[in-house]
Amino acid sequence: MSAITQAASVLLTRGSNLPELLVVRRAESLRFFGGYHAFPGGKVVAEDEDVPVWSGPTPGRDARIACAARELFEETGVLLARRLDGSFPLDTNPWKERPRLLDDTLRFDDFLSTHRLRLHAADFLLAGSLITPEFSAVRFDTAFYVATLPPGQQADIWPGELDAGFWTTPDALLARWTRGECLVSPPTVSLLELLRGRPATDLPSLLAPVIRALAADAIPPIYFAPAVQMIPLKTIGLPQSTYTNAYLVGSEKLYLLDPGAHEEREQGRLFDLLDARLREAPAFEAVVLTHHHPDHIGAAAAVASRYRVPVFAHRRTVELLKGRVQVDRTLDAGDRLELGTAPDGSGPWHLEAAWTPGHAGGHLVFYEAHYRLLFAGDMVSMLSSVVIVPPDGDLTLYLESLRRLRGFDCRMLLPGHGAPTVRPKQVIDDALAHRAKREEQLLAALREGGPHTIADLASRLYRDLPAGLMPLAALQVWAGLEKLLREGKAARVGTVDPDTTDRHLWVAVACGERPA
């Protein structure tokens, strides 16, 4: 499990009738929600612990309020600190020091005391804390505060970690998001949905039931795109991918992609979510499988029988699942799953299947053209490199399929493991480069002495890998050797142990040479 970092975020409001909120756009380069709209905020740093926060006659310490105030000032220039007479500063003097706070040459508590300014807890209304779900490699426990823009102050976003900021209402920003005009981080989407037509000061009471449900282990509402709910489920899998993302796509017609949960308890969490969604009366059309691996199909049969829906998959997947999951319809490249009217009312939208063999012989990905989404299954993993297990797995085909994925006009790639990415081409290029490097290393190891067993090659190539992961490394080497064999760059000589995958000795073949 990854460590959880404390963080704070501010919903800054202005105006009284229909209050607006300050929303910022995070720079593309940021690792966490780069390119997404969110509320200002950031992680707690050590010096936040030293900042006095006043809630009575004597100051106390509240690192998250200090963090909220510091991040808000650094990111937007809005200063939620009061003078000794209780008024907020209007003068420009403190603003001159903003760059020094940004580059960490000035401490926030020194800055405040120089200007005789105090943070008051009453200026920060705590709405509640949300923790990044466990599937994510980067996790935050973020306290969300509601605050009001002090009179006379203005927000001023400087290019850096953020590249834009603007005032908007929940309805206006959600409408833009629903039209596919911008990215909004999933927690921000959830908060904006709660705040539609409600004053921001209601947020603590609106958020409380959500926090209670999450504490009772409900699946969080994660929307990276409109009408696309990401559902990370605990699955039986390889290390680093003990979660597999199912996706519930559609608002009028629902398709559930890859429900992988195997355990009854985890399936129960999924059923609770589906029951709640189906109360809104959309039509549940089918369970759709990208491929046959256990961490993608664990709940397929259970969902199909509970909700009386068919299962769709590629014909190769049908063969491999025989006796385990009954597939009712085969899908092939170009087949469409109609989703009804798009969430913005602009017309029909659909998923289109593409056949991408390699990781699995029957692997399908699904492209959605309205928001330019690619449901990539296990073609790309955001957590580790994708494992290819021969003979169903085929590295040559996998690389061909991966290059084909690069050609999709895709804004967001939604993988089976890890968080969606808005830099799909970069991620695919990195994966291709990594494979090319591994192949070079494999050829170099083959040429050194030999003949070699697969285990021997794996231990040379993956020197620093924990022993428990070695069998996986051996599978990667095997997949690489099969590719080199097909290309005439490697050959099998002799037999070691006919009952295991490591049954042959392998040698490199120089150009045009035939092994003895």
- Binding residues vs Zn ion (CB under 5 A): 293, 378
**Residue nearest to Zn ion according to CB distances in the complex:** 293
Q: How far is the CB of 260 from Zn ion (least distance, A)?
A: 9
Nearer to Zn ion, 36 or 243 (CB): 243
Here the contacts of 2-5 (C-beta below 8 Å, separation 24 or greater) are 2/134, 2/136, 2/137, 2/138, 2/139, 3/139, 4/131, 4/132, 4/139, 4/140, 4/141, 5/43, 5/44, 5/138, 5/139, 5/140, 5/141
Nearer to Zn ion, 317 or 453 (CB): 317
Helix (H) or strand (E) holding 75: helix 63-76
| Secondary structure tally for the chain: helices H, strands E | 14, 24
Helix (H) or strand (E) holding 254: strand 253-257
Label the pairing between strands 4-14 and 20-26. Answer: antiparallel
DSSP string, 404-464: HHHTS--SEEEESSS--BS-HHHHHHHHHHHHHHHHHHHHHHHHSS--B-HHHHHHHHTTT
Nearer to Zn ion, 188 or 290 (CB): 290
Tokens of 73: 């000032």
What is each CA distance from 217 to 214, 237, 418, 451, in whole angstroms?
Answer: 5, 21, 20, 53
Nearer to Zn ion, 146 or 431 (CB): 431
Q: How far is the CB of 209 from Zn ion (least distance, A)?
A: 36
Nearer to Zn ion, 261 or 491 (CB): 261
Q: How far is the CB of 417 from Zn ion (least distance, A)?
A: 9
Q: How far is the CB of 360 from Zn ion (least distance, A)?
A: 6
Q: How far is the CB of 273 from Zn ion (least distance, A)?
A: 23
Q: How far is the CB of 307 from Zn ion (least distance, A)?
A: 24
Nearer to Zn ion, 384 or 459 (CB): 384
Nearer to Zn ion, 75 or 378 (CB): 378
Q: How far is the CB of 389 from Zn ion (least distance, A)?
A: 9
How far apart (Å, rounded) are the C-alpha atoms in residues 5 and 458? 36
